[in-house]
Amino acid sequence: MSSFKNKVIYQVYPKSFKDSNGDGIGDLPGIIEKIPYLAQLGIDMIWLNPFYKSPQNDNGYDVADYKSVDPMFGTMEDFEELVRVAKKHGIELMLDMVFNHTSTEHEWFQKALAGDTYYQDFYYIRPPKADGSLPTNWQSKFGGDAWAPFGDTGNYYLHLYDVTQADLDWHNPNVQRELFDVVNFWLDKGVKGFRFDVLNVIGKDEVLVDSTGNASQEKSLYTDTPIVHEYIHAINQASFGVAKDIVTVGEMSSTTIQNGILYTNPEREELSMIFSFHHLKVDYKDGDKWANQDMDFAQLKEIMDEWQVGMQEGNGWNAVFWNNHDQPRINSRFANPEKYPFESTTMLATTIHFLRGTPYIYQGEEIGMTNPNFDSIEDYVDIESLNAYQELRAKGLNNGEAMEPIKAKSRDNSRTPMQWNAEPHAGFTTGHPWIKVAANYPLINVEQELQNGRTFKYYQELIRLRKKLPIIVEGSYRMIAKEHPSIFAYERVWDNQQLIVLNHFYEGETVIDLSEENIDWAKAKVLLTNGEISKLQDTLTLKSYQSLVILIEK
Ligand code: GLC
Ligand code: CA
């Protein structure tokens, strides 16, 4: 069994996990302190968001030195200690490699600015068009133009993200060599996994051309281009691919199943798995993140099913997840954690953990943390949210109207401090936290959860079952009850076993009829549920946000 398939990966957002020195910012010693907690949960690997030297304009995704620890997070010795302590607890580390761009404070960019042509070739620096306009009409993903003046040279540099995140030119072999070296540097430190940031946009053409002005046509000019696969194969062969048992995951923005297969089919020697995001856009109105609509459940089922089936047929592999540092909390988003805190969180978790793929848990998910619902734009920090708010206001929305999508979609929803206990600032810091703590921390926190809660225990059970039953890892996937309006149901089959996984995404009772499946109920038992079930039979009634997993031994 390949090792990356049976792992459960836990994402730590270092800035918000645990502050050890009272400066209000989470740090590496804070993570070390909490390793026993993560070991208790049972996870195998921790993905750490960037902790490298950075001006923090995009919370560390603007890297100024790939081989360093930013003093605000600790020291290199702290990192080495973290590797040791984690290993003692059977936990490995996955680091975040931000290779599409560097911070404009990176030495390479600074040298380029100072006139060093060797380093100018590291970036996309282009003259304006003959009429003096920008080199292309591309838009930054964080709002505004994707080009900014390159010093006072009259030229411009490309930034698909923030203006302080300059895109690297992967056509340049010197860029590749430097970046491969970064991966090897961390491999030497005992790192066993890598998450590659926005990896499928590194393959721009050498000659950049205007888009039609249509956003998706524009993305296609630089997303999933054939050369990206060559670049990824090259990283693989120059670093992690020649080491043993390294887990890799690429963050793929607006990708396709066809490319997902190419990225992850083992024969291609690219990556272990990818993150895709289509299932997290079903509450975007007409594709617009900053316009709210209720989750489109039929569409959600369809997307999940297409990806499961497609990747299975092409022997690809998915990372399965709902939450991360860029997404609002899924329980607040797709369920009702105020009224059904346990059921909402665990139903969504069940849906993911039994799918074909490697599950990720985002910090706080295992105790049912929710969106903070901050009312004032003053409480938000994230550059994308602040830009979006300005744009919404400029479009004529009043404060209240502009705040609605911000509250629902801001990336800060998941970036509020981890809630450890009921002490001030949720026990995250003794100082003043860099971002406010969610007000519900006296109720929702680790201490409380471990004493009286059921959510953490349920997650422990999900992880334990994955270790125990190969069907969860290896089984084939097929959707059942496709037309059911409120249940996402699927089957996994392996050897002489069958799993039926039913997830009710709404409040109230619903009935599902499984007679078409010809299940031999005498051989069935409840493997897991977050509610109660009286008798296993063809017609089953599920309560609000109930999940039911049935194991049938043939
Ligand atoms: C990824 C990261 C996100 C960051 C962006 C630019 O999407 O997850 O946090 O802002 O890349 O690096
Ligand atoms: Ca600190």
Instruction: Read off the pLDDT of residues 373-388 as tens digits, 9 standing for 90 and up.
Output: 999 999 999 999 999 9
Is the CB–ligand 1 distance for residue 488 below 6 Å? no
Average pLDDT of 335-356? 98
- Which pair of structure tokens corresponds to residue 407? 């509250």
Index of the ligand 1 atom closest to the CA of residue 100 = 12
**pLDDT tens-place string over residues 87-101:** 999 999 999 999 999
The protein residues having their C-beta less than 5 angstroms from ligand 2 (an ion) are 19, 21, 23, 25, 27
Residue 2 banded pLDDT, cuts 50, 70, 90: low
Nearest Cα residue to atom 7 of ligand 1? 198
Place of tokens 């993905």: 47
Compute the distance from residue 289 Cα to the ligand 2 centre, in Å.
Answer: 32
Index of the ligand 1 atom closest to the CA of residue 411 = 9
Contact 540, 514 (CB under 8 A): yes
Index of the ligand 1 atom closest to the CA of residue 101 = 12
Q: Give the pLDDT score at 534.
A: 85
Is the CB–ligand 1 distance for residue 62 below 6 Å? no
- Which pair of structure tokens corresponds to residue 145? 């133009």
The mean predicted confidence, pLDDT, of the chain is: 97
**pLDDT tens-place string over residues 127-144:** 999 999 999 999 999 989
Report the C-alpha gap between 387 and 487 in whole angstroms.
37
Surface-to-core class of residue 254, CB atoms within 10 Å of its CB (0-12 exposed, 13-18 middle, 19+ buried): middle
Nearest to 274 by CA among 320, 308, 309: 320
Place of tokens 């043993």: 244
Q: Is residue 1 scored above 80 in pLDDT?
A: no
Is the CB–ligand 1 distance for residue 19 below 6 Å? no
**pLDDT tens-place string over residues 146-177:** 999 999 999 999 999 999 999 999 999 999 99
Is the CB–ligand 1 distance for residue 383 below 6 Å? no
Is the CB–ligand 1 distance for residue 98 below 6 Å? yes
CA atoms within 13 A of residue 260's CA, in its CB half-sphere: 28
Nearest to 356 by CA among 477, 490, 501, 466: 477
- Which pair of structure tokens corresponds to residue 419? 């809630």
**Neighbouring C-beta atoms of residue 538, cutoff 10 Å:** 13
The yes-or-no answer on residue 197 being catalytic is yes
Place of tokens 């730590």: 12
Compute the distance from residue 52 Cα to the ligand 2 centre, in Å.
Answer: 14
> Which of the following is catalytic: 92, 162, 197, 382?
197
Surface-to-core class of residue 370, CB atoms within 10 Å of its CB (0-12 exposed, 13-18 middle, 19+ buried): buried
Q: Which residues pair with 477 in a beta bridge?
A: 492
Q: Which residues pair with 165 in a beta bridge?
A: 103
The rounded Cα 83 to chain-centroid distance in angstroms is 22
